[in-house]
């Protein structure tokens, strides 16, 4: 899946084309704000825009301020109150307030720093863009802010003027086993923001008719997961019930950084799986990463409800960590 939020990328392209560019970022909100903290709008020197900071209700004012800031080569901090009438027009029940940081590329936001941010995003590398407004300093951070990365939560650090903009790669879901549960799971995953792929060497199961508009891989699962890659924004779900298919992918996953590993099967089936993995040389801690039986225990019956339980568990692990 291509990034749908290619706003830093567009700002860099406009700047390099000689048109000039500004990045506007929502850094704080109160009340019913139209866009969450971290949302961005890129504005070119000729007035073209990409993205949004307000759902439309104050975009015009931000663009005017951004073009003035670009001409002056200065940073600006803007604050807007969204009235109840304006809020209703953009689909909100009541108004609120947003604060927007306006940074011209080059004079305020260094081109090389923006280039490094764009490279990290292209490489699916989680990175934080940090701005110390008191010191007029900015940098990229890849080591800190673990809670912010897990929660996708940009914002100011407590009692400071240090803003942290989180840039996480898009979420991905890799499903091994083109079974009925997978057919229910994939639409739910898309709604939840995941880019799903299905692995199954059985082409009759993993067919475009059963999984339209989905990346299908008919390779052996260990080869397929290597092709796709398993990183900190990837969930792996194993649904075949067949050790010949599940285990090769599972062995790759246990030594990867993927944030969630779930495997279908009863407690007895999982006990056999644990024995096989132990004999293959995996440690108790590595094996404990597997969520099996898969999904939250909600008494699910049937493929659709099992899919709901899987999505719920994936979300829990992503946002709160493994609570077991």
> For residue 1, is it within any domain?
no
Q: Do 261 and 195 belong to one domain?
A: yes
**Sequence-distant (≥ 6) Cβ neighbours of residue 186 within 8 angstroms:** 173, 175, 196, 198, 211, 214
* DSSP codes joined into one string, 139-187: EEESSS-HHHHHHT--EEPTTSSEEEEEEPPPEEEEEE--SHHHHHHHH
Which pLDDT belongs to residue 33? 64
Domain boundary residue, one of 147, 167, 187: 167
Mean pLDDT value of segment 79-106: 71
Q: Does 92 have pLDDT greater than 60?
A: no
**Sequence-distant (≥ 6) Cβ neighbours of residue 200 within 8 angstroms:** 176, 177, 178, 206, 216, 217, 218, 240, 245
pLDDT band at 269 (very low <50, low <70, confident <90, very high): very high
> For residue 305, is it within any domain?
yes
Burial of 69: CB neighbours in 10 Å, binned 0-12, 13-18, 19+: buried
Q: Does 88 have pLDDT greater than 70?
A: no
Q: What percent of the chain has pLDDT over 70?
A: 92
- Dist. CA 73–CA 177, nearest whole Å: 55
Q: Do 129 and 253 belong to one domain?
A: no
pLDDT in tens, 194-242: 999 999 999 999 999 999 999 999 999 999 999 999 998 999 999 998 9
Q: Do 179 and 147 belong to one domain?
A: no
CATH code (residue 306): 3.40.50.720
Which pLDDT belongs to residue 303? 95
> For residue 137, is it within any domain?
yes
> For residue 193, is it within any domain?
yes
pLDDT in tens, 28-77: 987 766 678 999 999 999 999 999 887 666 788 899 999 999 999 999 99
Q: What percent of the chain has pLDDT over 90?
A: 80
> Total domain count for the chain?
2
Q: Which residues of 191-201 are buried (b: 16+ CB within 10 A; e: fewer)?
A: eeebbbbbbbb
- Dist. CA 113–CA 37, nearest whole Å: 21
> For residue 29, is it within any domain?
yes
Q: Do 91 and 182 belong to one domain?
A: no
Q: Where are the beta strands (DSSP E) in the chain?
A: 21-31, 40-44, 49-51, 76-82, 96-104, 127-132, 137-141, 155-156, 162-167, 171-176, 194-199, 215-217, 234-238, 260-263, 290-291
Domain boundary residue, one of 100, 133, 167: 167
> For residue 198, is it within any domain?
yes
Region of poorest pLDDT, from 31-40, 241-250, 301-310: 31-40
Q: Do 111 and 15 belong to one domain?
A: yes
Q: Do 146 and 96 belong to one domain?
A: yes
Q: Do 136 and 250 belong to one domain?
A: no
Mean pLDDT value of segment 122-138: 95
Which pLDDT belongs to residue 5? 78
Q: Do 19 and 153 belong to one domain?
A: yes
DSSP SS3 for 93: coil
pLDDT band at 83 (very low <50, low <70, confident <90, very high): low
Share the mean pLDDT of the chain. Answer: 91
Q: Do 75 and 218 belong to one domain?
A: no
Mean pLDDT value of segment 276-292: 95
Which pLDDT belongs to residue 89? 52
CA atoms within 13 A on the CB side of 47: 3
Q: Do 159 and 204 belong to one domain?
A: no
Q: Do 222 and 155 belong to one domain?
A: no
Domain boundary residue, one of 167, 193, 215: 167
> For residue 263, is it within any domain?
yes
> For residue 232, is it within any domain?
yes
Residue 120 lies in domain:
7-167
Q: Do 133 and 189 belong to one domain?
A: no
Q: Does 84 have pLDDT greater than 60?
A: no
Burial of 51: CB neighbours in 10 Å, binned 0-12, 13-18, 19+: buried
């Amino acid at each position: 899946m291509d990034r749908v939020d290619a706003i830093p990328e567009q700002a860099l392209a406009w700047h390099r084309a000689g048109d000039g560019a500004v990045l506007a970022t929502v850094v704080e909100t109160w009340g019913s704000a139209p866009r969450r903290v971290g949302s961005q709008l890129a504005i070119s020197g000729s007035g073209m825009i990409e993205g949004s900071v307000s759902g439309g209700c104050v975009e015009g004012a931000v663009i005017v301020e951004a073009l003035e800031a670009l001409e002056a080569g200065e940073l600006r901090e803007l604050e807007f109150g969204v009235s109840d009438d304006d809020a209703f027009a953009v689909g909100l029940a009541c108004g609120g307030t947003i604060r927007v940081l306006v940074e011209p590329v080059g004079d305020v936001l260094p081109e090389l720093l923006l280039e490094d941010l764009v490279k990290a995003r292209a490489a699916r590398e989680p990175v934080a863009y940090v701005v110390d407004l008191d010191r007029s300093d900015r940098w990229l951070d890849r080591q800190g802010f673990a809670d912010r990365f897990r929660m996708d939560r940009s914002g100011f650090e407590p009692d400071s003027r240090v803003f942290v903009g989180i840039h996480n790669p898009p979420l991905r879901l890799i499903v091994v086993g083109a079974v009925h549960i997978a057919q229910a799971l994939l639409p739910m995953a898309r709604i939840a923001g995941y880019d799903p792929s299905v692995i199954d060497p059985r082409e009759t199961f993993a067919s475009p008719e059963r999984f339209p508009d989905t990346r299908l891989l008919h390779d052996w699962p260990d080869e397929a997961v290597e092709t796709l890659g398993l990183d900190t924004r990837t969930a792996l779900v194993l649904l075949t019930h067949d050790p010949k298919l599940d285990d090769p992918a599972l062995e790759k996953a246990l030594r990867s950084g993927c944030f969630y590993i779930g495997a279908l099967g009863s407690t007895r089936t999982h006990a056999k799986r644990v024995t096989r993995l132990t004999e293959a040389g995996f440690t108790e801690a590595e094996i404990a990463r597997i969520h099996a039986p898969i999904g939250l225990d909600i008494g699910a019956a049937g493929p659709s409800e099992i899919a709901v339980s899987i999505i719920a568990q994936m979300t829990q692990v992503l946002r709160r960590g493994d609570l077991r």
